[in-house]
Amino acid sequence: MYTLTYESKAVKELTNADIEAILETARSFNGASDITGCLIFYKRRFIQILEGEKEVVQALYERIKQDSRHTNVYLLSENEEGERNFPNWGMVYYPIDETDLNKNEYEQFRRNLLLLADLTVHSNKTAILFWKRMKLLVTTPPDIR
């Protein structure tokens, strides 16, 4: 099993409709291509882990790097050992508008992400790094990133 994780920064013009389009495309392509993983979009940053056949995941990552809806795409880790960490995961999306969101709801979302990171089984170094980076993103004040 090949696993790859990367992070990137959303362009300022990215809207909730753009994210919904990304997810619709990802659900369709990933299901047909036997790719699993997890995509987190938080504070205008993407962190994603992809799992599947090496050639298919690498080809998808090359397409992702060319997508104009984000910048600074950075490969964090890749490896070819272990089993899937997200065998039954589909893409999930909860639209968040920080300017319009109840602070309590936003904090609950953040706490849920941290809890998910702590409760998820990590079977390889790429999965471990994915969750560590996600936790760093969620706990770092915005002016430091």
- What pLDDT digit, counting tens, does each position of 79-113 carry? 997 788 887 765 555 555 555 556 777 778 778 88
Query: Quick one: pLDDT at residue 62?
Result: 96
- Answer whether residue 123 is part of any domain: yes
State the total domains in the chain: 1
- Answer whether residue 71 is part of any domain: yes
Do the Cβ atoms of 118 and 128 come closer than 8 Å? no
- Answer whether residue 21 is part of any domain: yes
- Answer whether residue 145 is part of any domain: no
- Answer whether residue 99 is part of any domain: yes
- Answer whether residue 36 is part of any domain: yes
Task: Supply the CATH number for residue 50's domain.
Answer: 3.30.70.100
- What pLDDT digit, counting tens, does each position of 1-43 carry? 899 999 999 999 988 889 888 888 888 888 899 998 888 888 8
Query: Quick one: pLDDT at residue 73?
Result: 96
Give the pLDDT mean for 107-134: 82
